[in-house]
């Protein structure tokens, strides 16, 4: 059954004010990338329902650990503030979530959108909205390559929420990278070229050897823009990945392979935009697939790493130019962002949503 698209969170306008750094906070001798992305230390005061909590930034540009929040007791105001914060930070980490069992994880996940039901990865019998994320010496299947989740869908994942109940004493981290930053580091000419291109994404070569959980839930193939606009800010991100992107539409195979491999390497080499989440038992990560990619680090065998993931449907990816930013794509002090804050209207909108009843995983 298709998800209830009326519940997709991109229909709820963001109304919170995002502060931007003062000019004197930006050092003179920094790269263009840093000028586009440097932020002041995250201040939870601008997220009223979270300001009493502790926080630890995992890097200057990406990732924040929220300390002292019980995810089984979150309020609607806190959910909305988490959605706003994750636009800014990409990935959020929460420790000590022992009370977040499978039913509670599903309940928490649904606050971020309807569940994506994976076509092949097994789910607990009592929680079909989840998938198992399990690796041990006999199942060394950690996804050790940069990717966003289920980009082969017509409406790929927006948020992913992963909880590990059992983790290695050492190793088994998950690395995250910011694809806003990967886009920002490209030359203006290459940005212009990529903005005209679309790429095919497929799950068949990854999951086709496994049995379908339902004949009504196939492994899909879809076409998305190579550059994706964020549905709230309109900011641009690279949207290709080595797991699911198969070709660039309209190019010869050698040309497509060459360009995709360049972009994959470019994403992997943006080390200043990367961060590791170090797992402990009962810790949770929540990330935004529209502008991050992640990769498991399979350095923990023969130890065990086991948990569950909830993934929510998102928007159909789209590209829209940002004339208000000129050649830049960095700070939030832009006409489009101001319009969002003042009127609640998004700078960029998706194309029409997929009609309810259409078949997809």
CA distances from 210 to 122, 207, 229 (A): 10, 6, 33
Q: 206 is written with which tokens?
A: 């990854």
β pairing state of 91-94 and 64-67 = parallel
Distance of alpha carbon 350 from alpha carbon 353, whole angstroms? 8
Q: Name which of 76, 39, 69, 73 is nearest 53 in CA terms.
A: 69
Burial class of residue 27, CB neighbours in 10 A (0-12, 13-18, 19+): exposed
DSSP 172: -
- Which residues are bridge partners to 306 per DSSP? 134, 166
Q: Name which of 304, 314, 332, 17 is nearest 164 in CA terms.
A: 304
Please spell the DSSP secondary structure of 31-99, one letter per residue.
-HHHHHH--PPP-GGGSGGGTTSEEEESSSSS-EEEES--TTS--HHHHHHHHHHHHHHSEEEE---TT
Radius of gyration in angstroms for the set of CA atoms belonging to the chain, rounded to a whole number: 20
* Contact yes or no for 284/163 (Cβ under 8 A): yes
Which residues are known catalytic residues? 147, 149, 294, 309
């Amino acid at each position: 059954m298709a998800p209830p698209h009326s519940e997709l969170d991109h229909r709820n306008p963001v109304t919170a004010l995002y502060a931007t750094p003062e000019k004197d906070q930006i050092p003179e001798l920094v790269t263009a990338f840093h000028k586009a992305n440097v932020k002041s230390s995250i201040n939870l005061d601008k997220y009223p329902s979270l300001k009493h909590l502790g926080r630890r930034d995992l890097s200057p540009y990406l990732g924040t650990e929220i300390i002292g929040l019980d995810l089984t007791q979150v309020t609607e105001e806190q959910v909305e503030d988490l959605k706003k914060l994750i636009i800014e930070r990409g990935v959020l980490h929460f420790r000590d979530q022992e009370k977040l069992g499978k039913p509670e994880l599903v309940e928490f996940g649904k606050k971020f959108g309807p569940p994506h039901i994976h076509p092949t990865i097994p789910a607990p019998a009592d929680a079909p909205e989840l998938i198992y994320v399990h690796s041990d010496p006999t199942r060394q299947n950690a996804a050790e390559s940069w990717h966003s989740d289920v980009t082969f869908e017509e409406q790929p994942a927006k948020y992913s929420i992963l909880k590990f109940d059992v983790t290695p004493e050492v190793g088994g981290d998950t690395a995250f990278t910011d694809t806003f930053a990967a886009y920002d580091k490209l030359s203006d000419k290459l940005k212009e070229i990529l903005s005209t291109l679309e790429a095919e994404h497929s799950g068949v070569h990854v999951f086709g050897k496994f049995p379908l959980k339902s004949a009504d839930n196939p492994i899909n193939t879809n076409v998305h823009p190579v550059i994706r606009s964020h549905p709230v800010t309109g900011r641009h991100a690279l949207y290709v990945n080595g797991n699911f992107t198969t070709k660039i539409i309209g190019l010869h195979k050698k040309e497509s392979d060459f360009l995709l491999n360049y972009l994959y390497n470019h994403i992997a080499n943006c080390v200043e935009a990367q961060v590791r989440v170090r797992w402990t038992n009962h810790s949770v990560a929540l990330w935004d697939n529209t502008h991050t990619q992640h990769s498991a680090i399979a350095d923990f065998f023969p130890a065990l790493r086991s948990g569950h993931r909830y993934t929510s449907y998102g928007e159909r990816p789209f590209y829209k130019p940002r004339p208000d930013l000129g050649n830049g794509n960095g700070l939030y002090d832009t006409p489009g962002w101001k319009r969002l804050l003042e009127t609640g209207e998004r700078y960029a909108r998706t194309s029409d949503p997929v009609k309810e009843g259409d078949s997809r995983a």
